[in-house]
Structure 1
Amino acid sequence: MLLAMPACSLFDSRGDKVEAADTQLQLGVRYMSMDKLAIAKQHLERSVDLNSKNVEAHNALAFLYEKLNDEESARESYEYALKLDAEDLSVLNNFGRFLCERGEYQEGMAYLEKAVRSPLNNRQWLAATNAGRCALTQKKSTMAEAYLRQALQRQPNYAPALQAMQKLSYQNGDYWAAKGFYERYSNVSRQSAEALWYAYQTERALGNQEIAERYKSQLMESFPLAEETQRIYSTQEKLKHGK
């Protein structure tokens, strides 16, 4: 009986650590959603300390490191998560997007395509949208449209896919389609600087100057520090000085 006690105690200890790690993970994700990143970081790092084999915790921690602009730590956490489970759909999606956003298109698309193709993926529109956006960044319009329409077929009101289709349609010169996608986007999401920028440019292209000016004003008032707003100021300065 005495010999059995240490094994039983060890088992209970491991179970307690896993449970504690899960609690820390839940707290970290909750604080991250509240944008309390420093507190979220403490909880998520504690979670992986308690249970280093929890893929979900490493994935969440990697995403947090992205928010903190700690690119090296984010990459390491994503890579470690994939070592634990090379088929984890959330990690494939997040790491694929991460790589694409940093210009590592070939590897990023490989991960995203793997997530899109998986028959076990019940949130396939997330990876399809990220693949579409990655293709759009590479100016592969046909591929981008195929992925984005695939995403919208699964989730018609998914705002990131609608906004990406607005941008793609504008760049292809299909201004009425761009207008339509922007209207759909506006019905389901808060405004973004990029969406307002393309709405402004679209209405200018369609000759609707009054509507265009309204979008421009909204962009400048709501997002005064955005890159899109700075483009407007730059253009105004050039016009003022006759350049």
Structure 2
Amino acid sequence: MTVQEQEKSLSNFWRDKFMKIFFILFGIFLLMSCKAQPQYYQQKVSSHKEIAKIYFQEGRYAEALKELELAKDTDKCDAETFNLLGLVYMARKEFVKAEEAFYEALKLDPNFSEAYTNLGSLRMMQGKYREALSYFEKALSNPLYLNSYITLTNMGWAYYQLGDKEKALMYLQKALNERARFSKALIYMALIYLNEGDLSSSEFYLKRVLKADRSNLEARYYLGEVFFRQGRLDLAKEIWESILSISPESEWGTLAEQKIYLIEKLKANNS
């Protein structure tokens, strides 16, 4: 071996050794930086998250983001903060930021089933149903996951979008076995039967939703659609008008207003 080759070999040896030491130290730094926070900081983060949840439910997404950024500044290793950030970005249709936030949550907690479920929901919004199912399966692989009925519901709808009605109904029924009054699972059941032309079954599931939650606008809207297809125009108009009285500025209020106009137009043409 020449002198130059020896020097090159020695240089590579020390370079590799340095990189190994660097990554070990970097890993230790990450572990130390994510150590348990004192109770004061935990309470502060929790407070910011709870306020953010309220803003999120009210559709005040900018304010929710502000609270979550404060939570993140207090503790950059809290997985739930990043999961909530993902939900807010998803609601704002900022899908790239939402995805980054969910991945960060999973980096901090690889068993975070809610983050896997939310990633799957994001993929559904993007029309990527096969990929969504893979995330839902990861969420369900955690035996300690308490909200599996939500994931099962999403799986059911994903399978229906992929054209597999039998699997769709199977997963939705599993969700209802775990949470009998879960409105989203009941509504998806109703929509499948509505699309398949089974109006009586669709009506049954929508009325189950409204029995538990009379203010559910989505269920009211689709029950009006069932009545409309059954030819019960007065009932359809009545329930769509109820949506306008509850929430005229909502998405469902806008859709209900369009349907009422259609009924009035049909009646005028038939008179």
> Which is bigger in relative contact order (C-alpha 8 A, separation at least 6)?
1
CA 1:23 to 1:233, structure 2 compared with 1: closer, same or farther past 3 Å?
same
1:183 aligns with 2:207: yes
1:24 pairs, out of 45, 54, 59, with: 45
1:149 pairs, out of 157, 173, 188, with: 173
Q: CA deviation at 1:76?
A: 0.9
1:171 pairs, out of 182, 188, 195, with: 195
Q: CA deviation at 1:132?
A: 1.8
1:74 pairs, out of 84, 98, 116, with: 98
Post-superposition CA distance 1:124-160 (Å, at most 9, x none): 1011112222333444322221111110011101111
Give the match's secondary structure for 1:210: helix
> What percent of counterpart residues are identical?
23
AA matched with 1:99: R
Q: Which moved more, 1:233-242 or 1:129-138?
A: 233-242
Q: CA deviation at 1:113?
A: 2.3
Q: Which moved more, 1:108-117 or 1:16-25?
A: 16-25
Matches within 5 A, 1:124-143: 124-143=148-167
User: CA contact under 8 A between 1:148 and 1:165: conserved in structure 2?
Assistant: yes
Larger Rg: 2
User: CA contact under 8 A between 1:101 and 1:134: conserved in structure 2?
Assistant: no
1:49 aligns with 2:73: yes
1:232 aligns with 2:251: no
Residue correspondences, number: 230
The TM-score normalised by the length of structure 2 is 0.72
Aligned mates of 2:124, 2:239 — CA distance in 1: 30
Post-superposition CA distance 1:83-114 (Å, at most 9, x none): 23332111111111121112122221111122
Aligned mates of 2:193, 2:61 — CA distance in 1: 36
User: CA contact under 8 A between 1:25 and 1:44: conserved in structure 2?
Assistant: no
Extract unaligned runs of 5+ from structure 1. 1-10
Aligned mates of 2:231, 2:261 — CA distance in 1: 22
Q: CA deviation at 1:80?
A: 1.5
AA matched with 2:145: N
Matches within 5 A, 1:39-118: 39-118=63-142
Q: Which moved more, 1:115-124 or 1:127-136?
A: 115-124
